[in-house]
Amino acid sequence: MGLRIVNGLLLVIFLTGIVTTAMAEDSAKDLQFPYRGKKILWVDSYNSDYEWSSGIEKGLRDALHGSGVELRVFHMDTKRHLEEDFHRQAGQRARKIIEEFRPDVVIASDDNAQRHLVVPYLKDTDLPVIFCGVNEDLDNYGYPCSNVTGMIEDEMAEGLVMHLRRLAKGAHAGIMGADVHTMRVVADQYNKQFFDGQLRYYLVRSFAEFKEAFLRAQQEVDMLLFRNNSGITGWDAAAAEAFVAEHTTVPTGSVLPWMKPYNLLTIAKIPEEQGQYAGTTALRIFAGARPADLPVVRNRLAHMVVNLKMAKAADLVLPVSLLQTAEVIGKEVYKEAVAPLPEGR
Amino acid sequence: MKLRYKFNLLALGVLLPVGIAISIAGVFTIERLAYRMNRKLMEAEVVKVLEDIRSAHKVLTESGVAAVDSYVRRAQADILDKYRDFRFGRTGRIQIVAEPSSRQLLPQLAKQQNPDIIYDEIVAQGAQGFWEHAHGKKEQFHYHAGFPAWNWVVLMSVDVEEMLAERNAFLNQVTWILLLGLVVGLLIFAWFARTIVAPVQQLSEAALAISQGDWKKNLPQSNAVDEVGDLTRAFSQMSEHLSAAHGDLAKQAKALQNTNTRLHLEITEHQQTQQEIFHLNQELEQRVLQRTAQLKVANQELEAFAYSVSHDLRAPLRSIDGFSQALLDDYGEQLDEEGQEFLQRVRGASQRMAQLIDDLLYLSRITRGEMIRQPVDLSSLADLVSKELQKNNPQRQVEMVVQPEVKADGDPRLLRVVLENLLSNAWKFTGRRKQGRIEFGMERNRSTTEDAPPVELVYYVRDNGAGFDPAYSEKLFGVFQRLHRIDEFPGTGIGLATVQRIIHRHGGQVWADGEVEKGATFFFTL
């Protein structure tokens, strides 16, 4: 009889210990993951292997690290599929995922996501939306509104143009890129904003057109904005790099980080900044902030890269101040050709 | 030298050396600080230039173009541009020299212009360091340091004149301040001399005049509310009091002179009187000597007479006593009882007379004998006498109380006689007491009678015997005087007379105190 009572007591103590331990673990997890159970859906306008999207995702995941938030990603892939119907269908797929996943916050990056998801389905609802990477005027989307806030994507074009003008021997400028809508929009903005309509356009569709246009541009302008190769069909990166290294004679530049092999100067916005902002803002909303209370902001960080290959090709000597603030690539170009310095310089 | 001049010299002696010492110390300190400060600043500026150069070189190195001539030239040009307009103060400037050709890069030289950098001096000073160099009429202070990677030497120069401008300004200011301070100091000392030294000087002059007897000298006056003012007023008051006292003293001296004259006359008269008294004394002494000699002779004759009488009277008395005894022995049976009694009376009278004669002789011997003073233990003597009395009368119950350690200075033989008489008297007069008590001792400052002089040591013999009527106390010490009947207490009445003679010979006093049946106390001094 006594043995049974003792066994019963031991069992009660054992079970109590298990329950207490489980509660303590839950409590520790709550402290470790304060937004456990919250869900975010990131709707990306582009594809997963697009560098810009990768950068946003990296910043987003860094911001959400340790928060316990469940992140789900949907790539609309509108960069590789330029058809309008595809874009609309991608928006509808994203809406369906929202209905199934029932996220607490939606992050929509770049313009297509705004155009085909947020504006038709999410704007002025109870679901908080954070946008980023938006280039177009916010008025076109009716932003900001009660449930939408975000970060405008401001290209670092002003700084790039300033540096190119310092290095260039004349004032004539040109812009090069794929002959696509986005590129035309951007080119128009540059032309209007920096060059008073004097900017020459070199918009091409194929790699062959590119080479021809590039050679022509070297003859016609004093500086060239080779903004983006995306959308140029038949693009051969190695061949392109070798081609521009051989034929560059004027300072060239871009605001897109993946364009640094082809340009003398690259001042790129940082996609991680966009993702970092989106993640941090989502956590603020989880903490109680309303989207309407969070003002729309602009990106501020930039990464400068100078390509010594292009500098040497253009016979340009870059100042120390520029080398000091930039990432220098293409150093190998001087390794073969350098001779010992004469004494008493 | 007057005190005020001493004070002026003191002011100059204090202010000038102190001011000059402070100035010199200040000049040296500022000069040292100027050099130290400029060393730090110049070194900092050169280091700043070198940091820019190093930074540029590092950027070029990291960019892989540190060995690319065009990049290096561009970087160097940027550095030279940056410091082309550099100014350090009015004359300070940065100079950059390229080794080993000693080509001056900064400031840039026009064609055919000679470099203004003394490259030999730079080489002589080593890799870096501070040095001074005369450049024409200008002294310049330099600091240089090199950047070997570019073979550059950065030199910072500043004119010594500018560097020490603060020192010179300080020297000028100190000179003016010193002069101003000197003037102010002298004014303060002048005020000090006027308010303190001048009154002291006036006091000094007044004191000098007073010391020379000039009481009419005007005394200094002061209204100053300070110690000197207090001193001046106190001195004036003191001088006035001294003047008044001096007048009184003169009057008193005059009166004293008159008194002295009168006293001189009186002394003269007194001396004459003394002379007369001296003569009279001499005459008196002569007379006393004559009288004493006459008295001595008379006394010797009287004593010889008394001795002869006493001695001569003893023979018939012995005959009377002897024959009366023979009558009683040989013819006693023939006499009736009355006749025997008569003969017994004759014998008694003759024996008593013989005793009287013995006592008289004894008294006479005591009076005439030589007295030898020496310390005497009276307590021992009293004990001795007491024991003899008790030995002779063992049946008596008498308590003898002798105070120990009673000492005296006198003739031991005579003092024993005194104690024998007084103690035996006490023994005798306590004979009717069942328990007699006799005390011997000494008191201090005891005065029992009005006639007795206050003395320091008084010896006494006290008993509880028959006492006496104090009305007859004067008669106690007379020869053959008795206050009791002989059948009550036997005696010749010569004892106390003997005591008195002995005490008088010692220069002391003896007196008695007592009442009938209440005992008696005999006091004596020596």
> Given an 8 Å threshold on Cβ–Cβ distance, is B75 in contact with A332?
no
pLDDT over 50 at A266, yes or no: yes
Flag if A344 and B103 touch (Cβ within 8 Å). yes
For residue B105, count CB atoms less than 10 angstroms from its CB and return exposed for 0-12, middle for 13-18, buried for 19 or more. buried
Closest residue by Cα to residue B93 from B116, B65, B110, B64: B116
- Domain ranges across chain B: 3-171, 219-369, 371-524
| Contact assessment for residue A103 and residue A41, using Cβ atoms and an 8 Å cutoff | yes
ipTM above 0.90, yes or no: no
Instruction: Provide the shortest C-alpha distance from residue A127 to chain B (in Å).
Output: 49
Domain B3-171, CATH homologous superfamily name and number:
PAS domain (3.30.450.20)
- Which pLDDT score, from 0 to 100, does residue B171 have? 85
Q: Could B151 and A345 be called an inter-chain contact, meaning their C-beta atoms sit closer than 8 Å?
A: yes
- The pLDDT, as a whole number, for residue B472 is 80
Taking Cα atoms as reference points, which of A105, A145, A154 lies closest to residue A295? A145
Phi, psi of B444 (to 5 degrees): -110, 135
Rounded to whole angstroms, the Cα distance separating A310 from A248 reads: 6
Q: Which residues of chain B does A323 touch, with a Cβ-Cβ cutoff of 8 Å?
A: 59-60, 62-63, 65
Gap between the Cα atoms of A327 and A311, Å rounded = 14
The pLDDT of residue A342: 47
* Element housing B106 (H / E): strand B103-106
Nearest Cα to Cα of residue A155 among A185, A130, A180 = A185
**C-alpha to C-alpha distance for A345 and A117, rounded to whole angstroms:** 64
Q: Does A335 touch chain B (CB under 8 A)?
A: yes
The structure tokens 């016979």 sit at A315
Task: Identify the closest residue of chain B to A325 by CA–CA distance.
Answer: B59
CA-based nearest distance B155→chain A, Å: 17
A338 contacts chain B (CB < 8 A)? yes
Q: Amino acid identity of B331?
A: Y
Provide the shortest C-alpha distance from residue B147 to chain A (in Å). Answer: 12
- Sorted by sequence, the CB contacts under 8 Å of residue B328 that are 6+ apart come out as B335, B340, B343, B344, B347
Q: Do A328 and B74 touch (CB under 8 A)?
A: no
**C-alpha distance from A320 to closest chain B C-alpha (Å):** 6
CB contact under 8 A, A323 and B59: yes
* DSSP secondary structure of A238-263: HHHHHHHHHH--S-EEESSGGGTTT-
Give the model's pLDDT for residue B517: 87
- For the domain made up of B371-524, the CATH class stated in words is alpha beta
Per-residue pLDDT of chain B (526 residues; tens, 9 = 90+): 666 677 778 877 887 888 888 888 888 888 899 899 999 999 999 999 999 999 999 999 999 999 898 999 999 999 999 998 888 888 888 888 887 676 778 777 666 666 666 677 777 778 888 888 887 788 889 899 999 889 898 989 899 988 888 888 888 888 888 888 888 888 887 887 777 777 787 888 888 888 887 777 777 777 777 787 888 888 888 888 888 888 888 899 999 999 999 999 999 999 999 999 999 999 999 998 988 888 878 777 777 776 677 677 778 888 888 888 888 888 888 888 888 888 888 888 888 888 877 777 777 777 666 788 899 999 999 999 999 988 888 888 889 999 999 999 999 888 998 999 999 989 988 988 888 899 999 988 655 555 555 557 899 999 998 888 888 877 888 776 766 666 677 777 778 888 988 898 888 888 988 888 889 999 999 8
Is residue A175 within 8 angstroms of chain B, CB to CB?
no
Cβ-Cβ contacts under 8 Å, A308 against chain B = 63-65
Distance (Å) from the alpha carbon of A145 to chain B's nearest alpha carbon: 48
Torsion of CA B76, B81, B85, B86, to 10 degrees: -40
With an 8 Å Cβ cutoff, is A336 touching chain B? no
- Which residues of B sit within 8 Å Cβ distance of A? 55-56, 59-60, 62-65, 67-76, 78, 98-101, 103, 150-151
Tell if the CB–CB gap between B64 and A340 is shorter than 8 Å: no
CB contact under 8 A, A324 and B74: no
Non-local CB neighbours of B41 within 8 Å, separated by 6+ positions: B88
Using pLDDT thresholds of 50, 70 and 90, give the confidence band for residue A344.
very low
Residue in B59, B62, B101 nearest the CB of A344 = B101
CA distances from residue A12 to A4, A9, A16, A20, A21 in whole angstroms, order as listed: 12, 5, 6, 12, 14
Q: Are A306 and A328 in contact (CB under 8 A)?
A: yes
Joined tokens for residue B251: 């009057």
Both structure tokens of A173: 């400028």
Contact flag A334-B68 (C-beta cutoff 8 Å)? yes
* DSSP 3-state of A288: coil
Task: Output the six-digit token pair for B246.
Answer: 């001096």
A335: nearest CA in chain B?
Answer: B64
pLDDT digits (tens, 9 = 90+) for A35-73: 999 999 999 999 998 888 999 999 999 999 999 999 999
List, in order of start, the domains of chain A with CATH numbers.
39-154+271-298 (3.40.50.2300), 157-254+302-335 (3.40.50.2300)
Neighbours of A99 (CB within 10 A): 8
* Closest C-alpha to B399, from B416, B388, B386: B386
Residue matched to tokens 């008394």: B306
